[in-house]
Structure 1
Amino acid sequence: MSDSSIEAQFAPDIDTRWAGEFILEARLLEIPGHRIGDSLSEVNSHCRDADEDAAKAFGDPAEYARVIAAQTSTAPTRWVSLMGPVLLQIVGVVLALQGVGGLVTGIVHPLTWSGLAMLVGLAGGVLLLAFALSRSLGIIVRRPLIGAVLVGVAGALLFAGPYLLLTIESPPLPVTAGIILACGITFMVVGIGLDIRKGRKTDDPISAPGIAPRRSRMKYLTAGTSIAWLLLGATTIILFAPR
Structure 2
Amino acid sequence: MTAKQLTDKQWLDEMIIELRLRNVRGPAIGDAVAAVETHCAESGESASEAFGHPREYARALEFPAGQIAHTAPAQSVCLMSPIAIGLVGLYLVPGIVLALFTHEPVAVKWGDIATLALMAVVVVLLARVPGVLRAIMQRWINAALILGGGITLLTMTQVLLDVTAFRVPLWLAAVVCLVALAASVMRMRHTIDTEQDLIIDPRTRRPMNPAIARAASWIFVISAVGLGLLSAIPLWFAR
Q: What is the deviation of 1:171?
A: 7.5
Pick from 79, 86, 90: which aligns with 1:89? 86
Shift of 1:76: 4.5
CA distance in 2, matches of 1:171, 1:202: 37
1:75 and 2:70 are equivalent in the alignment: yes
* Counterparts of 1:37 and 1:171, CA distance in 2: 50
**Structure 2 CA distance for partners of 1:209 and 1:239, relative to 1, 3 Å:** same
Q: How does 1:1-243 map to 2 (within 5 A)?
A: 18-45=11-38, 60-68=53-61, 70-71=63-64, 72-76=67-71, 81-107=78-104, 109-111=105-107, 115=109, 117-134=110-127, 135=129, 136-166=132-162, 168=163, 172-173=166-167, 175-211=168-204, 212-213=206-207, 214-217=209-212, 218-233=215-230, 235-236=232-233, 239-240=236-237, 242=239
Could you tell me which amino acid in structure 2 is paired with residue 32 of structure 1? R
Unaligned runs of 5+ in 2: 1-6
Deviation per CA, 1:131-166, whole angstroms, max 9, x where unpaired? Answer: 333431111111111221111101211232133212
TM-score (norm 1): 0.72
Give the letter aligned to residue 201 of structure 1. Answer: T
Task: Measure the CA separation in 1 of the matches of 2:79 and 2:238.
Answer: 35
For residue 194 of structure 1, report the CA deviation from its aligned partner.
1.6
- Quote the offset at 1:41 in angstroms: 2.6
- Aligned-residue sequence identity (percent) comes to 24
Residues paired across the two proteins, number: 222
Q: Secondary structure at the match of 1:111?
A: strand
* Greater strand content: 2
Q: How well do the aligned residues superpose, as a CA RMSD in angstroms?
A: 3.4
Q: TM-score, normalised by structure 2?
A: 0.73
